[in-house]
Amino acid sequence: MDHVSSLPDEVLYHILSFLTTKEAALTSILSKRWRNLFTFVPNLDIDDSVFLHPQEGKEDRYEIQKSFMKFVDRVLALQGNSPIKKLSLKLRTGFDSHRVDGWISNALARGVTELDLLIILYTADYYLLSSKYFRNLVTLKLNSVRVDWLAAGDIFLPMLKTLVLHSVRLCVDKYFFSALPALEELVLVSVNWGGKDVNVSNASLKILTVNYNICLGTFSVDTPSLVYFCFTEYVAIDYPVVIMQNLFEARISLLVTQDQIERARAPNIDWVEDDVVLRLVNMEKLIKGIRNVQYMYLSPNTLEVLSLCCESMPVFNNLKSLTLKSHKSRGWQAMPVLLRNCPHLETLVLEGILHHVTDKCGYACDCVSREEKGCSLTSCPVKVLEIKGFRGTIKEMHMIKHFVNYFPCLMETNIYIEESGPPKLRVPQVCEFIAEMMEHYGKSSSFNVQLLVGGYLYKKWTAQ
Amino acid sequence: MSSKMIVLMSSDGQSFEVEEAVAIQSQTIAHMVEDDCVADGIPLANVESKILVKVIEYCKKYHVDEANPISEEDLNKWDEKFMDLEQSTIFELILAANYLNIKSLFDLTCQTVADMIKGKTPEEIRSTFNIENDFTPEEEEAVRKENQWAFE
């Protein structure tokens, strides 16, 4: 029995809306009932990557492109003035940009709420998005196009909640973001700013992701409602304004050159003279701006660059959980100050504990032997310590012992070994070491250590 | 803290007691609760007991709070198992989700059917759903030409 054809029209449109337009169009030939159903789906999801077959000759491709244009024109003609919800256009193989302008305008005129465009031309130029009136748009995603919204009043996006700009060439004035009254999420990835200063100023923004942007001047953020901030960037020239007082979670991964790291480590730096270092020092403005955060992740590079901000390190009063990733080429110079400035820290997650040894991390770990060893740990109230990416080396085991010894409020330590990590032979040695450690350090009766292998609990030790 | 319960009645006369907080994931039921006409139970004339049981199972699982904390990953795995059903049941579930206006269930059930269409030739789709081809050869040719690009 054919159950599916007897479903109501709106239900069939909804089912077809989960397919690309091309896939949905195949149903036109199933039976008379299905002939034009796909044209009423209020989404157009078109991706021309189906053209990228190396075997096809050039003539073939031209014919297929012609029939592709004809197809889109026909579907739009059949849809007439009916409302459309989403238009997704991914074009990489060359096309008539005038025609594409027409398609986009058609969708905008019919109240499209979600627009997702990836348009790559054969030439080195960008496709210029000429449309300016996006009255109903709630979600806008642009990839590889050029956006020129410089004149005041040039852009009207009153309902926009989500804006994703990827590899876009952006020319906007500094009031652009503040003119988006409903914006909640902004993603800027590999955007080319043409050397301009970036100014993300918006009262309603909640989520901000800034990754791999290029050619930017200074970077300012004024987002009082921001809850989540993800930042993977080269160090900007300066951070004049950073306002995020309601921030909940921040992930900061700096991209640095080896030259920057070496200059930062140089013992007698004259900051005023050294441009490179001055730029790194300006990071302190970014760190100060996020100081109200509750969950923070810092990459190995970020932790090393913070070594230049130790004197001005803010107090992270609300920080409950801190995750630090380590790498053997990057140091922990900022670790002592950082741990001392987290008065309410509950959880510390260390993704890898082996790091580049300097004499400045000495207070926080036992890499270098010194008298006040561990003193910055004794003021840190952390209750849960998680060690991820544990490799079972002696050095790591000594570091864990050091933490267990000096963190005064520690209740729980979880050690994670990857499945692909050290061979099973080492696990018994690790267990022996942990057992010894438990005996040695008379912790409270509720202190426990768990060893997890491949994500599953292998063994648990509780203090007697 | 006791939770408010309401009674849902299937088209074939069976009654099901459900927490109000779970049931109002259905916009249809939520509106009835707002309009305060649920005292004697809510008759669901379009939903058989066999299907209502599944709907309630879904709503209970998706009522995520401190008592029932669950990750997105786990929910996705659960969805897969939940939708391992006969075709006719899937379609009845679609209609029930539409009637009861439970957006996430409606999306899940429709996505499941879409996944059964994806990647198949028209002949394979007909075979999956028992659809009879009532085109004449000329008509079929005309449709192929109309949407030529889709059939390339």
Do A461 and A435 contact (CB within 8 A), yes or no? Answer: yes
Quick: pLDDT tens for A110-156: 999 999 999 887 666 788 887 667 888 999 999 998 888 766 566 77
Residue B29 belongs to some domain of the structure: no
Range with the poorest average pLDDT among A39-53, A399-413, A424-438: A39-53
Write the ipTM: 0.93
Q: Is residue B43 part of a domain?
A: no
Highest mean pLDDT among A256-270, A316-330, A355-369, B29-43: A316-330
Q: How confident is the model at residue A258 (pLDDT cuts 50, 70, 90)?
A: confident
**A35–B143 C-beta distance less than 8 A:** yes
Q: Which phi and psi (to 5°) does residue A139 adopt?
A: -130, 130
Provide the residue range defining the domain that includes B55.
48-118
Q: Are strands A219-222 and A242-243 parallel, antiparallel or unpaired?
A: parallel
Q: Which CATH number is associated with domain A292-463?
A: 3.80.10
H/E element holding B80? helix B72-82
CB contact under 8 A, B95 and A11: yes
pLDDT of residue A152: 55
Per the structure, the count of domains in chain B is 1
Q: Does A26 touch chain B (CB under 8 A)?
A: yes
Is B24 inside a domain boundary? no
Q: What is the pLDDT of residue A424?
A: 61
pTM (predicted TM-score): 0.85
Task: List the single range of A185-194, A224-233, A444-453 with lowest mean pLDDT.
Answer: A444-453
Q: What is the mean pLDDT of chain B?
A: 90
Q: How far is A50 from chain B (nearest CA, A)?
A: 10
Which tokens hold the place of A463?
A: 């203090």
Q: Do B87 and A25 touch (CB under 8 A)?
A: no
**Are residues B152 and A67 in contact, defined by beta-carbon separation less than 8 angstroms?**
yes
Whether B110 is in a domain gets the answer: yes
At A203 the pLDDT is 95
pLDDT number for residue A140: 94
Residue B37 falls inside a structural domain: no
Average confidence score pLDDT of chain A: 86
**Band of the pLDDT at A54, cuts 50, 70, 90?**
very low
Contacts of B114 in chain A (CB under 8 A): 15-19
A371 vs A361, higher pLDDT: A361
Better pLDDT: A107 or A134? A107
Q: Taking Cα atoms as reference points, which of A192, A182, A185 lies closest to residue A213?
A: A192
Alpha carbon of residue A353 to chain centroid: 23
The pLDDT tens digits of the residues spanning A441-461 come to 766 777 899 998 887 888 998
CATH number at residue B99: 3.30.710.10
pLDDT-based confidence at A386, cuts 50/70/90?
A: very high
Cβ distance B135 to A16 less than 8 Å, yes or no, reads no
Is the pLDDT at A57 greater than 60? The verdict is no
pLDDT attached to residue B38: 73
**DSSP per position, A37-63:** GGGG-SEEEEEGGGG--TTS-HHHHHH
Residue of A nearest to B98 (CA): A11
Q: Residue A133 has what pLDDT?
A: 72
pLDDT, position A372 = 62
Tokens 């709420």 locate to A113
CB of B89 closer than 8 Å to CB of B51: yes
